[in-house]
A and B are shown apart, each in its own frame.
Chain A
Amino acid sequence: MNRERYDLIRHRSKIRFDFFSKGPKGLIWKTIQFKRSGGNHFNLSFGDWNESLQKIDDQARSNNLDRDKLLSTVAYAVLEFLENFPGARITAGGSTPARTRLYQMAINTNWVEINLLLNVSGSINGIWETMERRKNYDAFSVTAKSIL
């Protein structure tokens, strides 16, 4: 995955990554977190880090004109996470339709690399299937292929 991306700060737990989006709106603190939902299942949370509330604001739309770099950074964090937790299944469902589209774009933008390294499923109305690139889904789920 050689696309331009931001340097990531990885916490000791290896389930949280932080970086700063850089653009016309300045430096915006972004956080990616993998929250265990049971067994090997993790939910991906991504958004602006709200320092005063100490939580991710997954509704924020920062429009810092760096979407592709942002998406490649998230995709890279997913790969890094799976290297440390190879048996994990990561599910990402957008908090809003716009956020779901963002995740879909992240997968599409990095499709070649993702398809090589990950098994990707998409859910439509609660039914999971192997993801097809041009189809719209409500949520996504990835696991590492054994080569990771």
Chain B
Amino acid sequence: MDRETLLALLEKNKGAKIIDIDEWGVLDNSPEAIKRLEDFKQKFLRRECFPPGMEHWMPDEYKDLPPKD
């Protein structure tokens, strides 16, 4: 996240006191953030986030779900 992104967020949300952002520097509740999270969730469910052999890192609640595709 860079200086310009943060300054733009502050300008756009002037007076907000607290501006919540996600890992990519966009507002937590923006359509972009929601889409990124949804994409990430799908990749997560397809085990694409884990290097081969490291699937055991997956949290228990997801382990019983069949891999998509």
In the assembled complex, the CB of B59 is this many whole angstroms from the nearest CB of chain A, namely 17
Residue of A5, A9, A27, A51 near B9 (CB, 8 A) is A9
- The verdict on B56 contacting chain A, using a C-beta distance below 8 Å, is no
- The verdict on A11 contacting chain B, using a C-beta distance below 8 Å, is yes
Q: How far is the CA of A105 from the CA of B44 in the complex (A)?
A: 47
Can you sample 29 A-B contacts with CB below 8 Å?
A: A5-B17, A7-B13, A7-B14, A7-B15, A7-B18, A7-B19, A8-B19, A9-B9, A9-B10, A9-B21, A10-B19, A10-B21, A11-B21, A11-B22, A11-B23, A12-B20, A12-B21, A12-B22, A12-B23, A12-B28, A18-B6, A19-B10, A20-B7, A20-B10, A27-B7, A29-B6, A51-B2, A51-B3, A80-B18
